[in-house]
Every structure is written in structure tokens, then in C-alpha cells.
């Protein structure tokens, strides 16, 4: 099978226009005869569902939360990028496109990324119109701040709660459509499987998390906006219930999984403090605008930060990368933090932390200004660590944060299963091998508000309007498979808890498929993961029953899929013998120990096809070509 | 402050399903690090219960960063526990003493239903938003973002209101189980911003009407909501809601 991304012809700047003109439309009066299922209610899902309903489609929305407003998009802190150039500092659509594709280390499609940059401005307009309270200047115009990987100020923000405010904007649009009867909400429903018949997506099977009831839902098209799979590492900045299940089930039903090994490790998180720890907390990258990263110049220096004189501090990012300083992209910041800690210069009890110091910024701008910018982040840090970042520098360390990989989609955001569309973090597009800060919100909303509603019509126009046409038998069969798997899980009655096994998997992946990877480690992971999976299926202990609210069973189902996904990640990482984006492949370094990308051999999207239990998945390559930018070795010096 | 180890005695509300009668069960946990969060303590309890062959305590939680609004329980009579401006997930054991007794129960209100143990159905809050907590603008119909200048101070006040995480602690804290703070925060945000003005009258009337219909009580100025709110949202927003409501009731068509 040859992967066809269906990139439109024509000059880069005209592709999206031409595509929208070429695509088939559905008459407004006919749209109500089509049903679309949207799974997930974060930025991508809520915005897509609301917009599709505005267009007149019948929309069914499923979320595992008690309310669509809980989706993990809500936790995004720093901001959203757009090419408005309000600061008159040299920004443009082309520059946002260039920064994003360069930030992604030239592992994303030009056409997709350019479209994202084009749409970025409309997103800001839309959100302002919804009443999103973005930060403003005294004159009343919108304020911007700068972010890692860019030399312009193009990030719009609402204090440190930008994700919350944008999600509540999309949520309110969704609630309006529920009120108008165009969207039916299904809360506390977890998608358990995708129903595929004749190679096309026909609906989903869900579990009611309150009662355990399994049911089927048919539609003309299914949209997955179910987020990323960073929780495969157990400890990550993702919310506790973020999971891979919906995406994984779709993969096992024929959707290709692209670049599973592309995982972003965020440089500014609160360090790990104990083995009971349930999750890692992100401190927004925007803090690096004013915070200076440093460690003691000498290894083993245990003096408190205040007693280390200026001359004995190593502001390693500023020294090594004078051009970008503390604002180098996330992967560079993370890798350097790990490097200084590995050399024994880390700080804090565990030695696995570096300082992020606001003293200079407070002296320069005053404490009020700094508090207005980061007040809630400072409070959050103080609450967790019991230390005041105004009085002493923060301690930070990298943590797993975001997965650039996801289901493969074409330019229409359709997966390799016709009728299955994938949005937001759940798909693989746009961020390449590394996502820049404030770009996830942009992508989620671009996909949901502006792209999918303009591309789904082309697929739906080929479906017969009226009742969706999946057969009763295929739904019954899929339901049965779901019931069987749940019964199997409950029947194990072993000796280890779900969390215990998840921790083991997480440590293994962090050690061998984290920031730096090598062939021997990945092979070790590939040997070990099936053993942990075996252990899980023979020794997991799940209390309670299936037909009730059972949080252990929910977690077990998700872990079962993580245990399979982890293997695919390691396999993909092993295949990619180049350093690229977020991760360093130890065999592929420059003499200065910087990442060395290998365009001659790896300028492709790795799309994996499931071939059955126990079978090695098949790798398909979508070559990446660059006609408008020249892939350069990234340098932030 | 360096972490130490403490013992905690728990009395937790257990209820099998919405229709079952519930009761308190007692548990003891020893040697908990004071750096541990409250929910991590419940994780530790649940791991222990699971290994002992007993049913773990069901509780809602997700982001564990104090922003998703999913977590929440009443701890010794206070929603989200004793620390002001703090969600349960951001509450740490360093605020408790060795040997403390903690009574943990779900958010209770007529408009909330207990699903199991500490898990509560708060979808009534979504229904209030559905009644008008939005600006009716379709995707694509927006003017250029900088067209309407909004004074910084107004934007900041709107943001103060918009910070609500919809956890329902205000309802659980109120002797009348009123959702006025939740409602006030949304009405206030949209009344402050020019984008919300065209629909402000209808919004106030319709959202208050829905709140009454769902069985929430009314505000009698107890200020318990403000004290319990993990985002410290001020009852000034209730005052603004009242002004909006009165104006709407007087001048509506």
C-alpha cells in the first residue's frame, strides 16, 4: 500500500484554498441526514463537534469525563501561537510556518504546517469573539509573549491558564449546540473499540463507566480527538486518565500509527520526589522568558543557591546557545538539563534538578509585573514544593509531556480507515519530531474549528444519507470482543495491582526509550515489554465487577493497550537510527555531542500497520519532501 | 521544610451505587510522607485495599494540577479541605499533623447525585451553562481580534471570573446548595466583556431559571462558597449577577 497524503497541487500558499474549492460540499438541507461521532471533548473534539453541529450535522459526542470541560487541554498553561504580527517584530505566516517546521526538525509535511500557520490568525479572532479573556495591553489591544524556538512575540495567553480559557471557549460553543439539540452528549463513556465494516469506520463501542454497560453507536463518520499517549511512561505531565485506548483500538482495526517514538520531554517540570508520586507537574515553558536556568559550576556543590556567587554559577543555556539562551526549544533544554545532572551538577535532594531563577527578572521588572505574568504558576509551585520561587530559585527537571506521534492522517485528517478522522494530539501531523511551545493549542483548534469541518464533507458526500449503514452483526461482534476482553481481565485475579505493573513499564521506557536512545537499550526494551505484558495478563489483580463503576478495571483496560503500544514505540525508535527532534540517538551525534539528523535515510514519516497478534507490524514510509524550505541542521547558537 | 512521616486516620463515605445506602468506613495509614498530596494518600490506601482483597475507594480526579475541576471531596466539613484557594489534588499532607483524624465525604447537594463513594454527578452544572453561558457566535463569523479594545483592567476582572474550574465546591459549601457563585462567575465574565453584551439579559434570566429548575438553592449571603472556592472567586461576581438579573427582569421584553 502506498500512503497518499493527498496534498493538493499548486503553490504552498494556495493549496488550502484550492483544496477547499475542489472538495465536494453537502447541501445544508442534507447535512442533518448525516451523523458524526466525535470521541473526546478537548480543544480538538469540542471545537470540531460544535462547528459540525453549526453546519447542521447530527453530532454525538463521547467523553470519559463527567463533563466535556475536564479534558486535559484544560491544563495547557502558556499560550497559543498565531502569526498576527501585532508586535511588528518581523512575524508572518511564512515565519510561523518556518519556525514550526524547523522546530519539528523537518519531519512534518510542508503543506500541513503551512495551512496551520494560515489558520492560526482566525483561531484568535474566533476565541476573542467567544469571550476568551486574553491578556491585554493598557490600550486594550491583545498582549503577546515570546516562547521557546521563536525570536518573535506571537504567543497569546490568558495568564497561565490559556488552555483552560480556550477549552472553555470551545466547551461553551459545544454547550450551545447541545442546547440547540444538534449535539447529543454522552459523558462518562469510554470508547472501547472502533467498528469497521468493508474497510470503513461505521461506529464505536463504548462502556458506560457508571454502570459498566457496553453499547454500540453507529455513524457515517467517526472522529477521534482523544489526545496523546504520554502516560505510557506512567509518570508524565498528562492527566491521570489520558490514554491510548481509542487510538490503539483504531490501529488494531487498520489505522496506521505514525511516528510512535516521537515523544516530547518537557524541560520545565517539578522534579520527582517519591515513589508514591502519581504524576508530574509541568511549569509552563513561558517561565523561561524571565527565568534563568543554571547549575553550580562544580559538581557536588551542595550550598544553598543563595550562597553560590554569580561567578560560580553556570548559566549553561545562555553560555552554550547565546542566540536563543534560555529560550532554546524544549528538546535542547531537556537534553542539556539531563546532561548537567548526569555530570553530577544537578541540585536538590535527588541531584535530578536544575535551577530556574527569577531574581534578575524581579530586580528588573518588579515583583508585581512578574507576579502578573506567572502568579498562578508561582502559587502552584509553592503549593507542591512548599518553596517560594520569589525567595529562592525554582527547581525543575524534564518530564514526558506530549506525543507528536499518533494515527497517520492525510491532508483531510482522515486515517487509513476511510471514515475515521483523527484530530489534535491523537494524530501525528504538523509537529514533526518536536512540538514548539504554544503550538498544541493552535493545532487542536485549527483541526477542530477550521480543517475537519471543511474536509469531512468530501467523505460524507459519498455516503448514503439517512440511517448509518453498519450491519447489526458487525456491531454485535465488536461488542462481544469488548466483553470478552473485560471478562478476561477480571478473571486473572493475580497478585499485582494495575499501578504496580504500570510503574514497571514506565521505568523501562524512560530508561530505554526516553530522551536519549541507543540500539542496545531499545532491543532490551523490546525483549522486556512482552514479558511485562505476559506478567500483566497472568498476575494482575482487579477488584470488583464489570457491570459497575470500577476504576481499577478502567485503568487495567488502558494499561493493556499501553503494554502493546510501548512495544511499537520501541520498535519505531529502533528503526530510526538518527537523532531527530526531541530525542538523541546516541549512535548519531556530531563531534560536539549535538543531535545529528540523517535526511538521506530518514526523511520519512514512519507509518506502522497492524498485522495481528504476535505478528511484527509492517512499516510504510511516507517520504517527506521540502520545496519551500531547506532542511538545515538546527542550530540555536 | 523537609518532609517527615506521619500517620493518618481516615473515615471515608462508602456507597456502592446511587441507590444504595452509604456509611462511613475507617482506615488507618502509617508512615505517609508529608510531601505526598491528599490524592496520593488515597492512591496509597487504594493499593493497600486492593492487595487485601477489598474494594478500593472510588474518587474522581484527573489533572492533579488543580485545573480540571474533576476532584473534590469534603474533608472535615470543608470542600477541598482546610487550605484556602486549593483543590484537593493540590493539598499536601504537610498541612496535617501526625495522628490526625480526617472525615472524607462526597460533595452533597440536591442537584448532585452520588454515583459511588466520593464520585458525584455534577452534570447539572453543564446544564446551567447550556442555558446561556456562551456567546452565540458560529465558527468563522468573528471579526479581527483587535477590532474591539478591552481595557486591561476589565480583561483582568473577566479573567478572575473565568478562572472557575466548575468543581462544585461552592455548591457543596453552601447551606442552600446554591450554584450562585458558579453561575455568577460565568455571567460576570460575559457581562464584563463587550462580546457578551448582546445576550446579557437573556443569559442572566435563562441561567438563573435553569439553576432554580435543577434544584439548586438560592443565595443568602453566607459567603461559604467564596471561602471554599479553590480559585478564590469573589462573591462580587454574585453581586454582578444580581445586578444583571434585576436589570434583565426589569427591562426584558
pLDDT digits (tens, 9 = 90+) for A124-136: 999 999 999 999 9
Contact across the interface for B123 and A66, Cβ inside 8 Å:
yes
Contact across the interface for A131 and B193, Cβ inside 8 Å:
yes
Share of chain B above pLDDT 90, in %: 97
- In this predicted structure, what is the pLDDT of residue A241? 97
Tens-place pLDDT, residues A509-522: 999 999 889 999 99
- In this predicted structure, what is the pLDDT of residue A284? 81
* Angstrom distance (rounded) from CA B241 to CA B208: 9
Which CATH homologous superfamily contains domain A12-24+32-265+403-460? FAD/NAD(P)-binding domain (3.50.50.60)
- Give A49-94 as a DSSP string: HHHHHHHT-EEEEE-SSSSGGGSGGGG--S-EE----TT-SS--HH
Angle between helices A43-55 and A452-460 (to 10 degrees): 60
Closest residue by Cα to residue A251 from A224, A230, A217, A233: A224
Helix (H) or strand (E) run with residue A334 in it:
helix A330-342
Q: Hey, is A591 helix, strand or coil?
A: coil
Helix ranges (DSSP H) in A343-471: 359-365, 367-385, 440-445, 452-460
* Angstrom distance (rounded) from CA A328 to CA A484: 49
pTM comes to: 0.96
- In this predicted structure, what is the pLDDT of residue A349? 84
- In this predicted structure, what is the pLDDT of residue B1? 55
Of the partner residues A142, A187, A380, the one whose CB lies closest to the CB of residue B65: A380
Tens-place pLDDT, residues A7-26: 999 999 999 999 999 999 99
Q: Which residues of A touch B124 (CB under 8 A)?
A: none
- In this predicted structure, what is the pLDDT of residue A31? 97
Domains of chain A, by residue range, sit at 12-24+32-265+403-460, 266-401, 479-596
- Is A330 tagged catalytic? yes
Numbered ranges of CATH 3.10.20.30 in chain B = 5-105
Query: For residue A591, how many other CB atoms are within 10 A of its CB?
Result: 6
Q: Which residues of B touch A273 (CB under 8 A)?
A: 3, 35
Contact across the interface for A134 and B155, Cβ inside 8 Å:
yes
Q: Given the residues A115, A189, A330, A345, select the one marked as catalytic.
A: A330
CA distance to partner chain B, nearest, from residue A159 (Å)? 8
Q: Choosing among B1, B51, B67, which should be mutated to test the A contact, i.e. which has the most A CBs within 10 A?
A: B67
Q: Hey, is A594 helix, strand or coil?
A: coil
Of the partner residues B67, B159, B196, the one whose CB lies closest to the CB of residue A75: B67
Tens-place pLDDT, residues B146-161: 999 999 999 999 999 9
Numbered ranges of CATH 1.10.1060.10 in chain B = 122-138+147-251
* Whether A415 contacts A256, CB under 8 Å: yes
CA A611 to chain centre: 26
What are the Cα distances from residue B169, in Å, to A62, A583, B77, B212, B232? 25, 42, 12, 18, 11
Contact across the interface for A84 and B141, Cβ inside 8 Å:
no
What are the Cα distances from residue A316, in Å, to A338, A356, B144? 12, 12, 41
Burial (CB count within 10 angstroms: exposed 0-12, middle 13-18, buried 19+), residue A631: middle
The DSSP call for residue A589 is B
A-B contacts at Cβ under 8 angstroms? 223
CA distance to partner chain B, nearest, from residue A543 (Å)? 6
- pLDDT confidence bin for B253, thresholds 50/70/90: low
Q: Per this entry, what is the length of chain A?
A: 637
CA distance to partner chain A, nearest, from residue B200 (Å)? 12
State the fold for domain B122-138+147-251. Fumarate Reductase Iron-sulfur Protein; Chain B, domain 2 (1.10.1060)
Helix (H) or strand (E) run with residue A322 in it:
none
In the predicted structure, residue B105 carries a pLDDT above the cut 60: yes
Of the partner residues A125, A158, A450, the one whose CB lies closest to the CB of residue B145: A125
CA distance to partner chain A, nearest, from residue B137 (Å)? 7
Q: What is the mean pLDDT of residues B59-84?
A: 97
* Angstrom distance (rounded) from CA A576 to CA A107: 12
Q: Which residues of A touch B149 (CB under 8 A)?
A: 136, 139-141
* Whether A156 contacts A33, CB under 8 Å: no
CATH architecture of A266-401: Alpha-Beta Complex (3.90)
Contact across the interface for A172 and B129, Cβ inside 8 Å:
yes
The residue in chain B having the minimum alpha-carbon distance to the alpha carbon of residue A376 is B231
State the fold for domain A479-596. Methane Monooxygenase Hydroxylase; Chain G, domain 1 (1.20.58)
Q: Choosing among A186, A278, A454, A490, which should be mutated to test the B contact, i.e. which has the most B CBs within 10 A?
A: A278
Residue B26 backbone dihedrals phi, psi, to 5 degrees: -105, 145
- In this predicted structure, what is the pLDDT of residue A501? 98
Q: What is the ipTM of this complex?
A: 0.98
CATH architecture of B5-105: Roll (3.10)
Closest residue by Cα to residue B167 from B218, B91, B93: B91
Pick out chain A residues at pLDDT < 70: none
Helices and strands per DSSP (H, E), number in chain B: 8, 7
CA distance to partner chain B, nearest, from residue A632 (Å)? 35
CA A336 to chain centre: 22
Residue A533 backbone dihedrals phi, psi, to 5 degrees: -65, -45
* Angstrom distance (rounded) from CA A476 to CA A470: 11
Residue B135 backbone dihedrals phi, psi, to 5 degrees: -100, 130
Provide the CB-side half-sphere exposure for A126 (13 A, CA). Answer: 27
Amino acid at each position: 500500500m502506498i500512503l497518499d497524503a493527498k496534498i493538493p497541487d499548486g503553490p504552498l500558499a494556495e493549496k488550502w484554498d484550492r483544496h477547499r474549492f475542489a472538495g465536494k460540499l453537502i447541501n445544508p438541507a442534507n447535512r442533518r441526514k448525516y451523523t458524526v461521532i466525535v470521541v473526546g471533548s478537548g480543544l480538538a473534539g469540542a471545537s470540531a463537534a460544535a462547528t459540525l453541529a453549526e453546519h447542521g450535522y447530527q453530532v454525538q459526542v463521547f467523553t470519559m469525563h463527567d463533563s466535556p470541560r475536564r479534558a486535559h487541554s484544560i491544563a495547557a498553561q502558556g499560550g497559543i501561537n498565531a502569526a498576527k504580527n501585532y508586535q511588528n517584530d518581523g512575524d508572518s505566516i511564512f515565519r510561523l510556518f518556518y519556525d514550526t517546521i524547523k522546530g519539528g526538525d523537518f519531519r512534518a509535511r510542508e503543506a500541513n504546517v503551512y495551512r496551520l500557520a494560515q489558520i492560526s490568525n482566525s483561531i484568535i479572532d474566533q476565541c476573542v469573539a467567544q469571550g476568551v479573556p486574553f491578556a491585554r495591553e493598557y490600550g486594550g489591544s491583545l498582549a503577546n509573549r515570546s516562547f521557546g524556538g521563536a525570536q518573535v512575540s506571537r504567543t497569546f495567553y490568558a495568564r497561565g491558564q490559556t488552555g483552560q480559557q480556550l477549552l472553555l471557549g470551545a466547551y461553551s460553543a459545544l454547550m450551545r449546540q447541545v442546547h440547540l439539540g444538534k449535539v447529543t452528549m454522552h459523558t462518562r463513556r469510554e470508547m472501547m473499540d472502533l467498528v469497521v465494516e468493508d474497510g470503513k469506520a461505521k461506529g464505536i463501542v463504548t462502556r458506560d463507566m457508571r454502570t459498566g454497560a457496553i453499547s454500540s453507536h453507529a455513524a457515517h463518520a467517526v472522529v477521534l480527538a482523544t489526545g496523546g499517549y504520554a502516560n505510557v511512561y506512567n509518570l508524565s505531565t498528562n492527566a491521570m486518565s489520558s490514554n491510548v485506548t481509542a487510538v490503539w483500538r483504531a490501529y488494531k482495526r487498520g489505522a496506521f500509527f505514525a511516528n510512535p517514538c516521537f515523544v516530547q520531554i518537557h524541560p520545565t517540570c517539578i522534579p520527582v520526589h517519591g515513589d508514591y508520586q502519581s504524576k508530574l507537574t509541568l511549569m509552563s515553558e513561558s517561565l523561561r522568558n524571565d527565568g534563568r536556568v543554571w547549575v553550580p559550576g562544580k559538581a557536588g556543590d551542595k550550598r544553598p543557591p543563595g550562597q553560590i556567587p554569580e561567578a560560580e554559577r553556570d548559566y549553561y543555556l545562555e553560555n552554550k546557545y547565546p542566540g536563543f539562551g534560555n529560550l532554546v526549544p524544549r528538546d535542547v533544554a531537556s537534553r542539556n538539563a539531563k546532561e548537567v545532572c548526569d555530570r553530577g551538577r544537578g541540585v536538590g535532594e535527588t541531584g535530578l534538578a536544575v535551577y530556574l531563577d527569577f531574581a534578575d527578572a524581579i530586580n528588573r521588572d518588579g515583583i508585581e509585573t512578574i507576579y502578573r505574568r506567572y502568579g498562578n504558576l508561582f502559587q502552584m509551585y509553592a503549593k507542591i514544593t512548599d518553596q517560594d520561587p520569589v525567595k529562592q530559585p525554582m527547581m525543575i527537571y524534564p518530564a514526558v509531556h506530549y506525543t507528536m506521534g499518533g494515527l497517520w492522517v492525510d491532508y483531510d485528517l482522515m486515517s487509513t480507515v476511510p471514515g475515521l478522522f483523527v484530530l489534535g494530539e491523537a494524530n501525528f501531523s504538523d509537529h514533526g519530531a518536536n512540538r514548539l511551545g504554544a503550538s498544541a493549542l493552535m493545532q487542536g483548534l485549527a483541526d477542530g474549528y477550521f480543517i475537519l469541518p471543511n474536509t469531512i464533507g468530501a467523505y460524507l458526500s459519498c455516503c448514503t444519507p439517512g440511517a448509518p449503514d453498519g450491519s447489526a452483526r458487525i456491531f454485535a461482534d465488536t461488542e462481544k470482543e469488548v466483553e470478552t476482553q473485560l471478562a478476561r481481565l477480571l478473571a486473572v485475579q493475580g497478585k499485582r495491582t494495575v499501578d504496580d505493573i504500570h510503574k514497571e513499564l514506565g521505568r523501562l521506557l524512560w530508561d530505554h526509550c526516553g530522551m536519549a536512545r541507543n540500539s542496545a537499550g531499545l532491543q532490551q526494551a523490546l525483549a522486556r515489554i512482552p514479558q511485562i505484558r505476559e506478567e500483566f495478563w497472568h498476575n494482575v489483580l482487579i477488584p470488583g465487577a464489570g457491570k459497575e463503576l470500577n476504576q481499577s478495571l478502567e485503568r487495567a483496560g488502558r494499561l493493556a493497550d499501553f503494554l502493546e503500544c510501548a512495544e511499537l514505540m520501541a520498535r519505531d525508535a529502533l528503526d530510526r537510527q538518527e537523532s531527530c527532534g526531541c530525542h538523541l540517538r546516541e549512535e548519531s551525534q556530531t563531534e560536539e555531542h549535538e543531535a545529528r539528523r540523517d535526511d538521506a535515510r530518514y526523511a520519512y514519516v514512519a507509518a506502522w500497520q497492524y498485522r495481528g497478534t504476535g505478528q511484527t507490524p509492517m512499516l510504510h514510509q511516507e517520504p517527506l519532501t521540502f520545496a519551500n524550505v531547506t532542511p538545515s541542521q538546527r542550530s540555536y547558537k | 521544610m523537609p518532609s517527615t512521616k506521619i500517620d493518618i486516620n481516615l473515615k471515608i463515605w462508602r456507597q456502592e451505587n446511587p441507590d444504595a445506602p452509604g456509611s462511613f468506613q475507617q482506615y488507618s495509614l502509617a508512615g505517609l510522607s508529608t510531601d505526598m498530596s491528599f490524592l496520593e494518600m488515597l492512591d496509597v490506601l487504594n493499593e493497600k485495599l486492593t492487595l487485601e482483597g477489598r474494594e478500593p475507594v472510588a474518587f474522581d480526579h484527573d489533572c492533579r494540577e488543580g485545573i480540571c475541576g474533576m476532584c473534590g471531596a469534603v474533608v472535615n466539613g470543608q470542600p477541598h479541605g482546610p487550605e484556602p484557594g486549593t483543590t484537593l489534588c493540590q493539598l499536601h499532607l504537610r498541612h496535617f499533623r501526625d495522628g490526625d483524624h480526617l472525615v472524607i465525604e462526597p460533595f452533597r447537594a440536591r442537584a448532585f447525585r452520588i454515583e459511588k463513594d466520593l464520585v458525584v454527578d455534577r452534570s447539572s452544572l453543564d446544564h446551567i451553562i447550556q442555558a446561556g453561558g456562551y456567546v452565540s457566535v458560529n465558527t468563522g463569523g468573528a471579526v479581527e481580534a483587535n477590532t474591539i479594545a478591552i481595557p486591561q483592567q476589565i480583561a483582568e476582572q473577566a479573567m478572575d471570573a473565568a478562572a472557575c474550574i466548575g468543581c462544585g465546591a461552592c455548591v457543596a459549601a453552601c447551606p442552600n446548595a446554591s450554584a450562585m457563585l458558579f453561575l455568577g462567575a460565568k455571567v460576570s465574565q460575559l457581562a464584563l466583556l463587550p462580546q457578551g453584551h448582546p445576550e446579557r439579559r437573556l443569559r442572566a434570566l435563562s441561567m438563573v431559571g435553569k439553576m432554580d429548575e435543577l434544584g439548586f438553592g438560592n443565595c443568602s449571603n453566607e459567603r461559604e462558597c467564596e471561602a471554599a472556592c479553590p480559585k478564590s472567586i469573589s462573591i462580587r461576581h454574585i453581586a454582578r449577577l444580581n445586578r444583571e438579573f434585576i436589570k434583565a427582569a426589569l427591562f426584558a421584553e
